[in-house]
Amino acid sequence: MVLVLVIVAPGQGAQSPGFLAPWLEDPTFAGRFEWLSTVAGIDLVAHGTTSDAETIRDTRVAQPLLVASGLVAALELFPHPADAYTSIGAVAGHSVGELTAAAGARVITAEQAMVLVRERGRAMADAAAATPTGMTAVLGGSRDEVLVVLERHGLTPANVNADGQVVAAGTLAQLEALAADPPAKARLTPLSVAGAFHTEHMAPAVGHMAGLARSVSTHDPRTALISNRDGRVVHDGRDVLARMVGQISSPVRWDLCMETMLDLGVTGMLEMPPAGTLTGIARRAMKGVETFALKTPDQLDDARAFCEKHGAASHLDANPTWRMVVSPVKGTFHRPAGVAEGDVLGPDAPIGEVSSLRDRLPITAAHGGRVVEWLVEDQDPVAPGQPLVRLHPEGGQG
């Protein structure tokens, strides 16, 4: 049996007052955390230790606090980042946790992540203030019926986390109508959030972040990175960043992320602090997958043993001399005729298709390059993140 470890980072709502206090007793953790706090221009040390629940619920505070916590805790878990690449099979983050995952996979730097999350939190808070909106958890009931009822009330399924766990978002009037006419056998729980995140109400924040993203340099992930948008493995750094920006106003499909984890053969999921939310969902939705919620530093030795138990080297080639094109989903690869080893492909040139149970997905070489080696044949079954072709950058490409 091949063991596969996935590291996940939680999203807004996972934080609780004082959750960082035991971590900040360690001088190394404290120093690194203070540095990211300085980059963000926010006193995250106070917010992680003494600020009350209402203060850290503020989107402007919660989002930078979560990302910084995950990034610094990752350095405690893997003091030498290169060690992580020999054990982590995939990474993913829920909502703002995608920034944590992207920095962990070296798509962006920790400092870039902190600037982006600061601006993300501010922009989303400003967008939420424009119209009275909110979110309500819909627990239980038939997923199809839940989605039909949400559509009837003009609401967006902003988070589809798993069967029986959908978050509805929209105007307060729409949510009141839902409360008066709920789906059968479902329980409604209003969430204490500033607005309708991951809906069209966040469009102004997307525009702001898209402008900033144009000046951010990226690298292709060093490990398989699973996108909230559709559960696909993304291996182009520019695409990772674009997806994170667009995802501000698009639903979080954590259910599809977990489907991809199962397709990858994940055997162990470790959640970064403040942990518990995503491992809780996984225990219900990913039967047979062992979970570890890293909450306090006294768990670090056990967490490292968990990573050693489930970890295996990534199959992605981290050598910057080469570029890999990987499959975003599980399916069957269809290799095109006429693309041979030695051919030079332009940026975004098609290199085949992967047919899955859901659709038939075109695959392109985002950066282009010379075809050095085909790693799969026509009609081969492929897994998410599996390398399809190795390219060598040509001239000014890449």
Residues 367, 361: contact at Cβ < 8 Å?
no
292 to 143, 186, 259: CA distances (angstroms): 28, 29, 19
d(Cα 51, Cα 45) in Å, to the nearest integer? 9
Helix (H) or strand (E) run with residue 334 in it: strand 331-334
Active site residue 392: no
Q: Can you give 226-252 as a three-state secondary structure string?
A: ECCCCCCEECCHHHHHHHHHHHHHCCE
Please write down the long-range contacts of 176-184, taking CB distance under 8 Å and 24 or more positions apart: 177/153, 178/136, 178/149, 178/150, 178/153, 179/136, 181/149, 181/152, 181/153, 182/138, 182/149, 183/138, 183/141, 183/142, 183/145, 183/146, 183/148, 183/149, 184/141, 184/142, 184/145
Catalytic residue among 37, 69, 95, 327: 95
The two structure tokens encoding residue 245: 């920006």
d(Cα 23, Cα 248) in Å, to the nearest integer? 29
Catalytic residue among 47, 94, 153, 198: 198
Active site residue 95: yes
CA-based end-to-end distance of the chain? 37
d(Cα 303, Cα 14) in Å, to the nearest integer? 19
Q: What is the DSSP letter of 182?
A: P
Q: What is the DSSP letter of 342?
A: T
Q: Enumerate the active-site residues.
A: 95, 198
